Structure 1
Amino acid sequence: MGSILIVDDNEDLCFSLAGVVKKQGFSVATAATGRQALALAHCSIIDLVFLDIGLPDAHGISLIARFRETSPDIGIVMLTGMNDAKTAVEALKAGALDYIVKPFDLIEFTTVLKRLMQSRLMEKKAALERQEADSESLIGQCEAMRQVHQSILTAAAVDAPVLITGETGTGKEMVARSIHNSRQRQNGVFVKVDCGTLSANLIESELFGYEQGAFTDARVAKKGLVEMASGGTLFLDEIGNLPIELQPKLLRLIEESTFRKVGGLKDITVQVRIIAATNSDLKEEIAGGSFREDLFYRLNVLPLPLPPLRERGDDILLLADFFLHRLNQEMKKNIKGFSDSAAQALRRYHWPGNIRELRNLLEREVIFNRSGWLSIPGLCRNRVDWPSEATDDLMTLKEAERRHIQHVLRKTGNNKSHAARILAISRTTLRQKLTETDPEK
């Protein structure tokens, strides 16, 4: 169920429109002034606003930005009695989704209401599914992951800075989004800044914005990512790459909640949650002079280390099963699971790329797989670092034969004709032996 706000000083019109909204199954509130409307939006979750352009205390278009400050994702439809293109263009440029020209009939209003609310509810559903998927990607039962989940809950309850550390691919952004999606910040925006990809001469203006004339190409003033994240979360990925000359400005933002735009003369105050992440050792960078010690301690109020995948034991198989289930759905496949030898190999591999590498490996194998089961020959396709099967001095002749066949297949890149020639058997015999050792092949 969605929530609608109708803002118009015509009491009869508000009453009629509210009745239509209720018949469509949505909750509704009304306001006669801009001040009343902003107060309602501040204390309630509003999906869609029908906003009159001529209010007693404000111009409707000027209120669009005020609504965005409180609820960045709110949808706005302008109600205007001025039937000219200029007003409509101004409203759309300011961020309105649509406009309705007065006088309008209730059928037209209902059509716009149903269309926009259907779209917004689908967006909310998709966002919820993405949020659930991110949370599921953090599944794990090992002790290290239990501590991670507890740390997420602790961080979600306060607004102190968080420093997430871990190797590449361990899920640092997922953890940051899980913290943001808590009840503390779920209505604010999540703004990600990759400090490793922005050039040193651009990152200051991207982060803090700039005033008109601050430099040659600054023809108009621009908001920075910090200001856009106000009321929500600013995620600074690869914080170790932040230029040393910008670190005092970030330190001031954390300590005083204020900053200045490039070329600006006045301070701007924001309320923003800072989450930083890095795969490097910031203490080593402090010793090397590339990172400020005082900034490190301000960021490291709530440290949140993530374990590498190779240290998570059976979590590897839990994640593998999860990704396989998702890939089956996405690609409309019906792969049943992993052979025993493949499961053992997944556990033994050192996973330098961590969760990201596991997901990418399985995605590729699901695309190529034709047997219905994931096996070592498939998983180690074009990989020289994949672990061989565990050795055991005491095994049956059948098991020894199976392992030797798998070894030859690995060496030949799963080329069965080549493998059959090396084994001095026919391709048909090789196929029979593979069926005997694994009926699903």
Structure 2
Amino acid sequence: MTVAPSNKPTVLVLDDEKNIRRSIEIALEPEGYEVLAAHDAAAAMRILQERIVDLMLIDIRLGDIDGLTFYKKVQTDGIHTPVIFISGNATLTEAAQAVKLGGFDFLEKPFTAEKLAVSVRRCLEYTALQRRLRAVEARSPAPQIVGDSPAIRKLVTDALRVAETSANVLITGESGTGKELVANSIHTHSARCAAPFVKVNCSAIPESLIESELFGHERGAFTGASGTRRGLFEVAHSGTIFLDEIADLALPAQAKILRVLQSGEIQKVGAERSIKVDVRVLSGTHKDLKKAVALGAFREDLYYRLNVVPLRVPSLRERVEDIPLLVRFIAQRLCEKNNLKEKEIDEDVLWELKRYPWPGNVRELQNVLERMLIMSGERVTVVNLPEELLATEVTATNSGSALREFRDRTERAYIIGVLRKHKGNVSQAAVELGIGRPYLHKRMAVLEIGKKDIYS
């Protein structure tokens, strides 16, 4: 059985007095709320397992269990729905505990319908405001997709365009290129920005646990399931979930994801009923999904469901011109993270960083920069470059790297052209190239540029 969601805000009332439950229904339903009533903790927990509610009204004094203990259990199970506590004979200690647990308000019985409606409205407005503030905070840092190359400009334009829709997006690119940043940007600029953005690394979750992680489980569903747990799809309700490394999902888990995309329903492990969720799915992979489909390792129907809009994140090798911008952006953040003063980075360093092929892409660049910033003095110079970066020139040549040979030839021709333009004046050529004169001499020696090349 599937419990369909209502478009109205949903309020769960837990009170062991039938008249109180009924009076709350009479007060709130004309105000546009859907009221779900429970006479004890067990009934309330069943509702929470089957429905996603916006607010709970909990009586502190219940017959089977006190309301404070019940709410603690709910929080332990990963449910953080806002709550208003109600009671006719609670002590000051209980009232203080209710506030400490995160209760938005405390209403003493008997309360008027008007007072109840005002409290409920304020609670939901406050919750919505908190979500909007979190969304603003997520947008407040400098843009995460840094670069001005044609490839990055196209990516940003396409990401902003698709953000305004509800379409599923498949984000591809090599490891370390920033697929998660693109997904986060899409969410932040979408209508769902005030709701959760949930990230899942599919390759990091064991196959035996993936279903429980994604969809949750009931108590006793398997050995070690000591309580009910919400899955990540339920956590992401009304927001966005990013399934990174989607190609690493086993076929049974792929079938479960397909069902969610087709029906908008999830079913917890061990549950008898399904729950409706409203979640936008973004996915990412560094693998060739078409090839995986051809090999039978990935479901074709799921591939087409995920790949409504494809976005490809370029490698760092494809946007070398962005490296200076990236270096300055990342360096500023790394200095803040490591309590370092901002440091100047020599142009010679940027030149070397632009020459390196970066197999690990932006993630590798960030690791290299962090090491250099920590180990350098007031300035970052070529002396601080890791040996493996400088050794690339030798090892790549020995291994016959076509890419390195091409770059060396291109760099050599470019430097010769600038030197000829300035009639062999190294100082003027260095200014135009944006590097230091000593470093230009070094590059000329490495690339075997002599007078005969300049003046021939």
| TM-score of the two chains, using structure 1 as the length reference | 0.65
Q: Over residues 350-386 of structure 1, what are the superposed CA-to-partner deviations in whole Å (9 max), with x where a residue is unaligned?
A: 11121122222222211122142x2222123554545
Please name the residue that 1:402 is paired with: 438
Match of residue 207, structure 2, among 200, 206, 214: 200
The offset of 1:164, in angstroms, is: 0.6
Please name the residue that 2:281 is paired with: 274
SS of the equivalent of 2:140 reads helix
In structure 1, what residue type is equivalent to 2:371?
Answer: R
8 Å CA contact 1:345–1:387 kept in 2: the answer is no
Please name the residue that 2:322 is paired with: 315
The offset of 1:327, in angstroms, is: 3.6
For the aligned residues, what is the CA RMSD? 4.4
Please name the residue that 2:241 is paired with: 234
Match of residue 171, structure 2, among 151, 164, 175: 164
Please name the residue that 2:343 is paired with: 335
Match of residue 352, structure 2, among 334, 345, 366: 345
SS of the equivalent of 1:215 reads coil
Change (3 A) 1:259 1:99: closer
Change (3 A) 1:125 1:346: farther
The offset of 1:279, in angstroms, is: 1.0
SS of the equivalent of 1:236 reads strand
In structure 2, what residue type is equivalent to 1:96?
Answer: G
In structure 1, what residue type is equivalent to 2:341?
Answer: K
Please name the residue that 2:381 is paired with: 375
8 Å CA contact 2:82–2:103 kept in 1: the answer is yes
The offset of 1:172, in angstroms, is: 0.9
SS of the equivalent of 1:377 reads helix
Please name the residue that 1:147 is paired with: 154
Match of residue 145, structure 2, among 129, 138, 147: 138
Change (3 A) 1:235 1:343: same
Q: How does 1:103-118 map to 2 (within 5 A)?
A: none
In structure 2, what residue type is equivalent to 1:178?
Answer: S
Q: Over residues 293-339 of structure 1, what are the superposed CA-to-partner deviations in whole Å (9 max), with x where a residue is unaligned?
A: 11111100011110011111321111112223334445341423x32
Q: Over residues 83-125 of structure 1, what are the superposed CA-to-partner deviations in whole Å (9 max), with x where a residue is unaligned?
A: 34895598579x635766869xxxxxxxxxxxxxxxx999987
8 Å CA contact 1:231–1:271 kept in 2: the answer is yes
Please name the residue that 2:221 is paired with: 214
Higher mean C-alpha deviation, range 387-396 or range 357-366: 387-396
SS of the equivalent of 1:274 reads strand
In structure 2, what residue type is equivalent to 1:377?
Answer: V
In the alignment, the residues of structure 2 paired with residue 277 and residue 303 of structure 1 have an alpha-carbon distance, to the nearest angstrom, of 10
Higher mean C-alpha deviation, range 240-249 or range 219-228: 219-228
In the alignment, the residues of structure 2 paired with residue 175 and residue 276 of structure 1 have an alpha-carbon distance, to the nearest angstrom, of 11
8 Å CA contact 1:229–1:272 kept in 2: the answer is yes
In the alignment, the residues of structure 1 paired with residue 265 and residue 107 of structure 2 have an alpha-carbon distance, to the nearest angstrom, of 41
8 Å CA contact 1:78–1:96 kept in 2: the answer is no
**Structure 2 portions without partners, runs of 5+:** 1-10, 12-25, 35-54, 61-65, 110-127, 395-407, 431-435, 447-456
In the alignment, the residues of structure 2 paired with residue 386 and residue 152 of structure 1 have an alpha-carbon distance, to the nearest angstrom, of 34
The offset of 1:213, in angstroms, is: 3.2
SS of the equivalent of 2:256 reads helix
In the alignment, the residues of structure 2 paired with residue 75 and residue 139 of structure 1 have an alpha-carbon distance, to the nearest angstrom, of 37
Change (3 A) 1:219 1:327: closer
In the alignment, the residues of structure 2 paired with residue 34 and residue 385 of structure 1 have an alpha-carbon distance, to the nearest angstrom, of 72
In the alignment, the residues of structure 2 paired with residue 314 and residue 37 of structure 1 have an alpha-carbon distance, to the nearest angstrom, of 58
In the alignment, the residues of structure 1 paired with residue 182 and residue 198 of structure 2 have an alpha-carbon distance, to the nearest angstrom, of 14
8 Å CA contact 2:368–2:386 kept in 1: the answer is no
8 Å CA contact 2:293–2:299 kept in 1: the answer is yes
The offset of 1:132, in angstroms, is: 3.5
Match of residue 262, structure 1, among 262, 266, 269: 269
**Structure 1 portions without partners, runs of 5+:** 1-6, 8-31, 41-48, 104-119, 411-441
In structure 2, what residue type is equivalent to 1:168?
Answer: S
SS of the equivalent of 1:277 reads strand
The offset of 1:265, in angstroms, is: 2.4
In the alignment, the residues of structure 2 paired with residue 259 and residue 161 of structure 1 have an alpha-carbon distance, to the nearest angstrom, of 17
What is the percentage of aligned positions where both structures have the same residue?
36
In the alignment, the residues of structure 2 paired with residue 155 and residue 87 of structure 1 have an alpha-carbon distance, to the nearest angstrom, of 49
Q: How does 1:39-188 map to 2 (within 5 A)?
A: 78=85, 82-84=89-91, 91=98, 96-97=102-103, 128-133=136-141, 136-188=143-195
Change (3 A) 1:82 1:316: farther
Aligned length: 345
SS of the equivalent of 1:191 reads strand
8 Å CA contact 1:164–1:305 kept in 2: the answer is yes
Change (3 A) 1:401 1:299: closer
8 Å CA contact 2:56–2:81 kept in 1: the answer is no
Change (3 A) 1:269 1:396: same
Change (3 A) 1:53 1:240: same
Q: Over residues 225-277 of structure 1, what are the superposed CA-to-partner deviations in whole Å (9 max), with x where a residue is unaligned?
A: 11221111111111011111121111111011113222222222111100111
In structure 1, what residue type is equivalent to 2:102?
Answer: A
8 Å CA contact 1:231–1:270 kept in 2: the answer is yes
Please name the residue that 2:6 is paired with: none
Change (3 A) 1:180 1:91: farther
| TM-score of the two chains, using structure 2 as the length reference | 0.63
Please name the residue that 2:291 is paired with: 284
Change (3 A) 1:201 1:328: closer
8 Å CA contact 1:78–1:99 kept in 2: the answer is yes
